């Protein structure tokens, strides 16, 4: 099939590349000339495991092309995907200016039937708005449908190629047929394509992300309670997760959810609910809990150092909001760094992929290390903010040698309490008992 994808951000590029991989011819359209030039010359613009290989292959086979020209991009396409940004507006609702702007342009350009597909996460009612925006200038028949994307950063290719489900919101038989054919290769293993009306489809995306955010915030609150009651959140997690109705996944406490989706989508759903005079109380609490959770480690660190962090130096491992991505949007690490600096401390950071993105926003406010071990030089404590695999089994001997102090504050519960106890560190994590280092002359007083 011939496909156009408008917007070559994260979702657009993965969508375009993966559809090309199953034999379709895909034209990706973006207004950013520099980006289009880079992509056309084989320079991939995002970090995503496994994407580069299929990107290069399909570029070479000419099944994947890039252009800034919308008219050229959509001319031969049977399906036009809109994968455009929907940033939060001032009031937290999703701003549709990019989606509706492109829809208007498409209206002027359509000369034959096409299925216009909303891939962006958009509030209920957007498909209708897109349909109306196209209709302003359009004389031919077309369908506008909703097809939300559920892929996760870091495993986006796998999620796209083997989706748990594909949700399609349309009541048009013609569009339904086109989309069934398109997705057939992706659901051969038996996972469903679920057809529904467009409003339900649009809401499904928000409901899915918000539900997962509820799960995470719930566990973060259980973790806080564990600390107060002397329970271990790892045990509680395993105890509840083995109940099928609850499920094992997304029960890991930490320093809050971040990224480009959860914070934005939870906020947008609360906002949409307000617009129809509904007070979404659970989600309002979820937002508040997550806000607190991002800096949950800071009071622990302060307490350990006798309340003042003035002149203290910290090593921080992990800047991306989660592993296997260079994405730092709403990353808890950034909130922790700001809080530490605000207390008069200095910070040296290391992340396997996200250093350049952090340099752009933090510049020389912090120090950047070449390796995870270099970051430790002279540090009073190590803080772990992202669960990259290389942080899971570090050389503890090297950590000790390079650090000045012996405290580790772990926002991702990477280390086994029993093991860490033998190693002589002061170790604090989330929802588990702290491990006290043997007292030495240099051990700070813990209240």
Residue 317: its H or E element = strand 313-317
In the bound complex, what is the minimum distance in angstroms from residue 249's beta carbon to ligand UDX? Answer: 7
Q: Is residue 151 part of the contact set for ligand UDX (CB under 6 A)?
A: yes
Q: Is residue 326 part of the contact set for ligand UDX (CB under 6 A)?
A: no
Q: Is residue 337 part of the contact set for ligand UDX (CB under 6 A)?
A: no
Cβ proximity to ligand UDX: between 211 and 280 the closer is 211
Q: Is residue 262 part of the contact set for ligand UDX (CB under 6 A)?
A: yes
Contact mark string toward ligand UDX, 348..387, x via CB under 6 A: ----------------------------------------
Among 321, 335, 350, 427, binds ligand UDX (CB under 6 A): 321
Q: Is residue 149 part of the contact set for ligand UDX (CB under 6 A)?
A: yes
Q: Is residue 30 part of the contact set for ligand UDX (CB under 6 A)?
A: no
Among 18, 20, 145, 261, binds ligand UDX (CB under 6 A): 261
Among 150, 186, 211, 396, binds ligand UDX (CB under 6 A): 150
How far is 152 from 71, CA to CA, in rounded Å? 31
For the annotated catalytic residues, the residue numbers are: 261
Specify burial of residue 177 (Cβ count, 10 A radius: 0-12, 13-18, 19+): exposed
Q: Which residues pair with 28 in a beta bridge?
A: 5, 66
Name 229's Cβ contacts closer than 8 Å, sequence gap at least 6: none
Cβ proximity to ligand UDX: between 158 and 401 the closer is 158
In which region does residue 182 sit, left (phi positive, over 0), alpha (psi from -120 to 50) or beta (all else)? alpha
Alpha carbon separation from 331 to 188, 261, 415 (Å, rounded): 36, 12, 21
How far is 58 from 36, CA to CA, in rounded Å? 15
Alpha carbon separation from 206 to 124, 199, 214, 274, 406 (Å, rounded): 9, 11, 12, 15, 43
| Nearest-CB residue for ligand UDX | 261
Cβ proximity to ligand UDX: between 25 and 429 the closer is 429
- Interacting positions 154-213 with ligand UDX (CB under 6 A): 209, 212
How far is 51 from 156, CA to CA, in rounded Å? 8
Residue matched to tokens 């492109």: 102
Q: How many residues bind ligand UDX (CB under 6 A)?
A: 19
How far is 71 from 56, CA to CA, in rounded Å? 25
Q: Is residue 252 part of the contact set for ligand UDX (CB under 6 A)?
A: yes
Residues that bind ligand UDX (CB under 6 A): 149-153, 209, 212, 216, 250-252, 254, 257-259, 261-262, 321-322
């Amino acid at each position: 099939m011939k496909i156009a994808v408008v917007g070559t951000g994260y979702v657009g590029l993965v969508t375009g590349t993966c559809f090309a991989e199953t034999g379709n011819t895909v034209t990706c359209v973006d207004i950013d000339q520099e980006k289009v030039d880079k992509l056309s010359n084989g320079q991939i613009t995002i970090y995503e495991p496994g994407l580069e290989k299929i990107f290069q292959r399909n570029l070479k086979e000419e099944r994947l092309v890039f252009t800034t020209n919308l008219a050229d991009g959509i001319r031969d396409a049977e399906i036009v995907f809109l994968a455009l940004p929907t940033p939060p507006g001032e009031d937290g609702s999703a701003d549709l200016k990019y989606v509706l702007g492109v829809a208007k342009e498409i209206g002027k350009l359509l000369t034959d039937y096409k299925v216009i597909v909303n891939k962006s996460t958009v509030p209920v009612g957007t498909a209708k708005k897109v349909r109306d925006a196209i209709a302003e200038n359009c004389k031919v028949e077309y369908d506008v449908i909703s097809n939300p994307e559920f892929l996760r950063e870091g495993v986006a290719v796998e999620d796209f190629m083997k989706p748990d489900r594909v949700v399609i919101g349309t009541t048009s038989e013609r569009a339904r047929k086109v989309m069934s054919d398109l997705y057939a290769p992706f659901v051969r293993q038996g996972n469903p394509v679920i057809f529904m009306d467009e409003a339900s489809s649009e809401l499904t995306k928000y409901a899915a992300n918000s539900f997962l955010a509820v799960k995470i915030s719930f566990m973060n609150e259980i973790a806080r309670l564990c600390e107060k009651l002397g329970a271990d959140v790892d045990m509680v997690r395993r105890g509840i997760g083995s109940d099928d109705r609850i499920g094992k996944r997304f029960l890991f406490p930490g320093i809050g959810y971040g990224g480009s989706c959860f914070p934005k989508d939870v906020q947008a759903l609360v906002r949409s609910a307000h617009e129809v005079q509904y007070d979404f109380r659970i989600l309002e609490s979820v937002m508040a809990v997550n806000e607190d959770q991002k800096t949950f480690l800071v009071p622990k660190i302060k307490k350990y150092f006798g309340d003042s962090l003035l002149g203290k130096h910290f090593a921080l491992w992990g800047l991306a909001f989660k592993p296997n991505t260079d994405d730092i949007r709403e990353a808890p690490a950034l909130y922790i760094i700001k809080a530490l600096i605000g207390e008069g401390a200095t910070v040296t950071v290391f992340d396997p992929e996200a250093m350049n993105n952090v340099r752009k926003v933090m510049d020389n406010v912090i120090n950047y290390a070449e390796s995870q071990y270099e970051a430790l030089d002279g540090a009073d404590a190590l803080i772990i903010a992202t669960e990259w695999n290389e942080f899971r089994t570090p050389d503890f001997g090297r950590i000790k040698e390079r650090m000045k102090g012996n405290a580790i504050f772990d926002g991702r519960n990477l280390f086994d309490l029993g093991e860490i106890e033998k190693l002589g560190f002061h170790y604090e994590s989330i929802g588990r008992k702290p491990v006290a280092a043997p007292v030495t002359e240099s051990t700070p007083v813990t209240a």
